Structure 1
Amino acid sequence: MKSVRRPVVALSSMAILVLVQAVADPTGLLALVGWPGAALRFDLGLWPLAPYVIFVPVLLGVTWWATLRAGDRFWMHTAGLTLAVLLAQATACFAMTWDAATAVWAAGYVAVKAVPAALIVAGFSRWFGGPRERLTFSAGSVWPPAVLFAGIAPLVAGLWWTGAAYAPGIPVARPERGALAMIVAVALLAGVTAVCLRWTRLRVPGVLGGWLAALIAGGIVGLVQGAVSIVVDGGVSGDVWPLMVTYIAVADGLAFGACVGWVVGLGALATDRVLARSSARTPMLVAASVAVVALAAALLVPALGTGSAAAASAAPAGFLRADGDIITDGDGNQVLLRGVNVNQLVDFYQPQPDVPVTRPLTEDDYAAMAEQGFNVVRLNLSWSALEPERGTLDPEYVEQITDAVGWGKRHGIYTVLDMHQDSWWNGPTEEGTACRPGTEPMWGYDGAPEWATITDGAPRCQFMGRDISPAGNRAFQHFYFDTDGVQSALARSWGELAGLFADEPMVAGFDLLNEPGFGQTAPVTTSHQLGRFYDRAIQEIRAAGAPQIVFFEPSILWSGLGFDSGPTPGFTDDDNIVFSPHLYAESITMDRDLGIPPIVSLERQFTLAERVAAEYGAPLWSGEYGYWGEDDDVLQRLNRYADAEDEHILGSAYWVWKQACGDPQNGIGPVGNALMMQDCATGGDAPPKADLLAVLSRAYPRTSPGVLTSLKADGASLELAGTTPERSCGLEVWIPGTGEPELATTGLTDVESVAVPGGWSITGCAEGDYSLSTAP
């Protein structure tokens, strides 16, 4: 009888590792099972308990099995323990969501924790597990199960191999990426799995041997995809994106192997039995039959379709709307929305009682923004001020919003209403709180009302910044799972607020939630649950009769990393939506805080964002960017951003127009860090950032007939080209400066230049291809 000493050592080591990590990691980001210091809740179903009553038992159960079967071989044992972590994650996520596609894809998110944990436990098992007995077994059948495993990949692709990491040209087993990419990926997966099977089945018998082959094969295919990405996705260009692509692809491959690899294990055993009763020619016949069936099934997937078509959300005349990958005015003209964020209505935490946290918002602000050529304001709102008492919108605050929208309308500026939050709510660390090692007391910031903030006693202490806090993460977790109906309340509030502006075409749209936190179980929260909230809010907005665009964001991870998964594609059947990540690469991203090379370069972030927007079938608009601090390279970086933005023909809103000295995001410095500066010593105005404003107020087309095909600008100099299938007089171009610009045009008629505050408005008509260039 085989000794159980090694499984006991492995089981004990894994249990101890889980406990030590839970205690040592105050955030749960690096721990297999996090403990935020919150009280356990037994009244909310499985989601609060899943990490403990689902994840841990599955982890320990598979650890025992993998050690019993593969514990005598270090690397096989490591693979088996990695499998244990991934399966535990998938099972726990399924218990939270009852959505299999999300759950199995989410397994890849713990790959970075699974492999180190597996190496540690495998090492302890080798040192203290007693003598080893390294037996060799029969390799048995390899090609039929390998082909079957690869052939079903397109059928069960789910959320695997999606997102910013997968550039065109990378082979992935997804039918919508084209037959060639899919066939190459399937063939690659089949071949690698067959090779791995021949190796693993000699060392590990039974189902586990085949399962581990699938796991390892998935990881190897990910390495190949990463290598291909270096060639097809811009190569190494000053950032570490190729390494991130490789990690994501490996994580996806490991998750696929872990969650589907049992097919290989069972298939290998079944094939062995068939072959044992058959002639020598049977192996080839079985492999060929499986290959034909798998390929036919894979090729059938596109014909079956991948989901229902988006519902039409036609906006009335005069309203902006999403149309494919651009924003239009409904009259055949592309619209570029370029402007700034306005945070003067935000309900910020006040660090110092005698220093105001915001500056008054007046019509003079809108007049000044119009003089810079801005045609949009992302108006930051606070749920805490909008709905301080549950179920009632504050009439005075609504009046402030209405005034701001009206001022914008008078000055030709659209408004995007943004439900802003930073670190969930404006409460600071309570006095007497003992922050766990690695965290520290923090200020509050802004966001939800107190009645919508549920922390279960988790400490309000920050780790590497305001957005990683046990209390904040716990509050977001409750929001995502709608504890006490707090998510439902915000969705209803959105409907009520949107209904008030349903007839106002100068409200461009509604930004549902600023930089949503990741809670405690990304990507369940940041993808599946976030998408559910967005869908509910959109339904409330449409039920209120509001036809405007809905802007939706990925989680705060995008702002911190330069990319993220985002809500699950297909989260809504509404097609009047715009993807709105914040393009902060080389700014507030983690890499800059840590002093390492950029994860995503400033230029590359546009391509990645467009790639994800295309998966949603939506236009792209950056709701925030900038905030490069006081470094000497601020102007240089802004110029790079402007050049890339023009190259990609995109709009955006700079952060931020005005920032008061008492704003907690400002840090109580000598000046308010914004475009329009404040002298903190006097409380009055300081000189504005004229050098940055000169870049931001550069020439651009506000509306263009048809579709723009190229754009380049520097101050008052502009070069643009476009094409329109039918005659349109919708051209409107902003040119800064006092001197009338010299124009050179092709394909344009009725061109006029009119002086406006701060510059010039160029209008004209076009039909077919057209171009315009200006010189100051």
Structure 2
Amino acid sequence: MAGSAIKSLRAKWRIWASCWVTAAVAAALLVAVGPDSAGAGGKRRWITDDQGRALVLNGLNTASSAKSEPNGMPWIKAADVQREKQQLGSNFVRFLIQWRNVEPRPGAYDETYLDQVAERVHWYGARGYHVMLDMHQDVYGPKTKGNGAPAWATQTDGLLVAEQDQWELKYIEPGTVRAFDHFWGTRQSSRNLRARYAAAWAHVAGRFRDDPAVIGYDLMNEPWGGSVQGAAFEAGPLAALYRRTLAAIREVDHDSWIFVEPEAVSTNWGLPSGLPYLKDPRGDGDRARIAYAPHVYPLPLDLGNGYSGDAKAWVRRTLGSWRTQTERTARRLNAPVVIGEYGIDATLPGALTYVAAVRRLAEEMGAGTAYWSNDPGPWSPWERTKRGGLRATRLLPVLDRPTPLAIAGEPDTYEWDATSRTLKVSWRGARRGVRGGTELYLPERHFPRGGRVTGGDVISWDAKSRILVVRSGPGKHRVRITPVPDTD
């Protein structure tokens, strides 16, 4: 594309973004400056495993390729999951599913599709992963030149959806806005689409409730309000859908975590969210299992910039604001945080530094992460060779980061210092009912001979999985892990 055309496209995107931001900020400030709702708690919450240990979830999204495949399946085979486990030590995957495949006709669920999902979930589960099932949509559905919703649930009233070089601009095409308005009930539809959506989720949850690999359900990827935006959308139609879907899922699955996302555009850029407290039917406080799963895509990166020059300063400010607003919303929801998406074209200037910065931010927040995505290419840890195989990109070593996986107690802090080659982890002793030790992932690239532990007792070290287990018990624990020297 010619340079002038790119500038024109970016100008159009900036104008739309600027208008949207002005409206969103005005609406969101009504929430941002007000008191946190009744669900707010003082302490940071954690997703826990079946031993009661706090989980530090890190992995990839699988996969963008599923969006365009008629059968909704990602490109992966079992061997690709094994490669990911060996090369990244991941313990988490955000696995994309789509409403169009779950419910191709009203009330008719495709069990063959769900069988194929279950097969792939098993690939992950057999390797110790925790799987989040994400009901994915972009630009509503295929009939609006996106993905997600089935044709029968897409009502555009004949309005057009034009192709756009920058795909996000399709969200503001008349046909897309109208389809969302019918879904949210802003305009009357021939069907109660929100009821059908909740029922579809209940069917999925009923299918996977007994699968130990499935940790929970991400109710909707990057919700978009159509003609209703900002806090009015999040506190209104979006919260209503979440409450309906929560109730439907809890009828069949009492225990899995349920992940909720804010409206994407505002929160991705570090603006406040108007999402209110959502009561979990299973109970309040520590009984509730609702997690907050925002994405982070700073606007300069959305516009195709790298993490350099003026854009770098803007992105750094965005990340600071994003953290403040995310932690505020998490307190309001009484929810742990998982960054459901973050990513960048790794060939851009400063891209690797940006990815490392987001991982450090997640460490400071105690948040899980799912990088976008595992599809081979410039955004991925892998790329295709001329012979069709896969080889590592420059991104892989950045994502292959030492980290705790499960902490047997109440985590305080954890941090990987690449300069001193030291992983520091501190926590308060095992809570009642917590079993097992604290598991730490030590990649071979940083710990070729394993780790030397200061301040703790080693239970076991597995050189194949690269997992070091440290004893936990009452009291405070502060451990430092450094590489075993070659002379030992």
TM-score range relative to shorter protein = 0.7 to 0.9
After superposition, what is the alpha-carbon deviation per residue over 1:77-129, rounded to whole angstroms, capped at 9, x for unaligned? xxxxxxxxxxxxxxxxxxxxxxxxxxxxxxx948979xxxxxxxxxxxxxxxx
- 1:30–1:342 distance in 2 versus 1, CA, 3 Å: closer
Match of 1:700 in 2: 403
Pick one of 245, 254, 257 that aligns with 1:537: 245
- 1:611–1:502 distance in 2 versus 1, CA, 3 Å: same
Match of 1:426 in 2: 142
1: CA distance, partners of 2:143 / 2:378: 22
Contact 1:480/1:525, CA 8 A, preserved across alignment: no
Unaligned runs of 5+ in 2: 1-11, 283-287, 484-488
More helix per residue? 1
Match of 1:92 in 2: none
After superposition, what is the alpha-carbon deviation per residue over 1:509-543, rounded to whole angstroms, capped at 9, x for unaligned? 00000001121011333331001111111111111
Match of 1:495 in 2: 202
C-alpha displacement of 1:553: 0.2
- 1:722–1:31 distance in 2 versus 1, CA, 3 Å: closer
Match of 1:739 in 2: 448
- 1:649–1:709 distance in 2 versus 1, CA, 3 Å: same
Pick one of 257, 263, 267 that aligns with 1:549: 257
Residue 297 of structure 2 is aligned to residue 579 of structure 1:
no
Match of 1:678 in 2: 384
Secondary structure at 2:105 match in 1: coil
C-alpha displacement of 1:554: 0.5
2: CA distance, partners of 1:760 / 1:309: 35
Residue 89 of structure 2 is aligned to residue 373 of structure 1:
yes
C-alpha displacement of 1:468: 2.7
- 1:568–1:446 distance in 2 versus 1, CA, 3 Å: same
Match of 1:162 in 2: 31
C-alpha displacement of 1:687: 2.3
Written as runs of structure 1 = structure 2, the 5 A alignment for 1:347-366 is: 347-348=67-68, 360-366=75-81
Which residue identity does 2:297 align to in structure 1?
Y
Which has the higher Rg, Structure 1 or Structure 2?
Answer: 1
Secondary structure at 2:479 match in 1: strand
Contact 2:338/2:369, CA 8 A, preserved across alignment: yes
- 1:376–1:30 distance in 2 versus 1, CA, 3 Å: closer
Residue 427 of structure 2 is aligned to residue 722 of structure 1:
yes
Contact 1:334/1:708, CA 8 A, preserved across alignment: yes
Contact 2:305/2:348, CA 8 A, preserved across alignment: no
Written as runs of structure 1 = structure 2, the 5 A alignment for 1:217-256 is: none
Written as runs of structure 1 = structure 2, the 5 A alignment for 1:610-649 is: 610-628=327-345, 630-649=347-366
- 1:504–1:756 distance in 2 versus 1, CA, 3 Å: same
Name whichever of 563-572 and 705-714 sits farther off: 563-572
Pick one of 100, 112, 125 that aligns with 1:396: 112
Paired residues in the alignment total: 445
Which residue identity does 1:494 align to in structure 2?
W
Written as runs of structure 1 = structure 2, the 5 A alignment for 1:34-53 is: none
After superposition, what is the alpha-carbon deviation per residue over 1:649-685, rounded to whole angstroms, capped at 9, x for unaligned? 22110000124xxxxxxxxxxx564222135xx5713
C-alpha displacement of 1:581: 0.3
Which residue identity does 1:480 align to in structure 2?
W
Match of 2:323 in 1: 606
C-alpha displacement of 1:453: 0.7
Contact 1:587/1:627, CA 8 A, preserved across alignment: no
Written as runs of structure 1 = structure 2, the 5 A alignment for 1:430-509 is: 444-461=145-162, 465-466=167-168, 467-481=171-185, 483=189, 484-509=191-216
Contact 1:740/1:760, CA 8 A, preserved across alignment: no
Pick one of 466, 469, 479 that aligns with 1:762: 469
Match of 1:562 in 2: 270
Tell me the TM-score normalised to structure 2 length: 0.81
Q: Provide the alpha-carbon RMSD of the alignment.
A: 3.4
Contact 1:344/1:358, CA 8 A, preserved across alignment: no
C-alpha displacement of 1:502: 1.0
- 1:396–1:714 distance in 2 versus 1, CA, 3 Å: farther
2: CA distance, partners of 1:552 / 1:709: 25
Pick one of 321, 333, 350 that aligns with 2:53: 333
- 1:564–1:397 distance in 2 versus 1, CA, 3 Å: farther
Pick one of 413, 421, 430 that aligns with 1:710: 413
Which residue identity does 2:151 align to in structure 1?
E
- 1:572–1:545 distance in 2 versus 1, CA, 3 Å: closer
Match of 1:104 in 2: none
After superposition, what is the alpha-carbon deviation per residue over 1:44-68, rounded to whole angstroms, capped at 9, x for unaligned? xxxxxxxxxxxxxxxxxxxxxxxxx
Secondary structure at 2:212 match in 1: coil
C-alpha displacement of 1:361: 2.0
Contact 1:518/1:556, CA 8 A, preserved across alignment: no
Written as runs of structure 1 = structure 2, the 5 A alignment for 1:79-228 is: 109=23, 161-163=30-32, 166=33, 174=35
- 1:344–1:638 distance in 2 versus 1, CA, 3 Å: closer
2: CA distance, partners of 1:695 / 1:425: 34
Which residue identity does 1:531 align to in structure 2?
A
Contact 1:379/1:415, CA 8 A, preserved across alignment: yes
Tell me the TM-score normalised to structure 1 length: 0.52
Secondary structure at 2:411 match in 1: strand
Unaligned runs of 5+ in 1: 1-24, 35-107, 114-158, 167-171, 177-305, 311-322, 351-355, 429-443, 660-670
2: CA distance, partners of 1:112 / 1:607: 18
C-alpha displacement of 1:382: 1.4
Contact 1:517/1:526, CA 8 A, preserved across alignment: no
Name whichever of 373-382 and 560-569 sits farther off: 560-569
Which residue identity does 1:461 align to in structure 2?
A
1: CA distance, partners of 2:342 / 2:68: 20
C-alpha displacement of 1:741: 2.2
C-alpha displacement of 1:749: 3.6
- 1:477–1:378 distance in 2 versus 1, CA, 3 Å: same
Which residue identity does 1:501 align to in structure 2?
F
Contact 2:63/2:96, CA 8 A, preserved across alignment: yes
Match of 1:517 in 2: 224
C-alpha displacement of 1:559: 5.5
Contact 2:91/2:405, CA 8 A, preserved across alignment: yes
- 1:703–1:404 distance in 2 versus 1, CA, 3 Å: same
- 1:592–1:457 distance in 2 versus 1, CA, 3 Å: farther
C-alpha displacement of 1:31: 13
2: CA distance, partners of 1:607 / 1:756: 39
Counting aligned pairs with the same residue, the percent is 24
2: CA distance, partners of 1:647 / 1:110: 28
Match of 1:405 in 2: 121
Match of 1:87 in 2: none
Which residue identity does 2:66 align to in structure 1?
V
Task: Kindly indicate whether structure 1 or structure 2 has the higher relative contact order, using CA contacts under 8 Å at least 6 residues apart.
Answer: 2
Match of 2:8 in 1: none
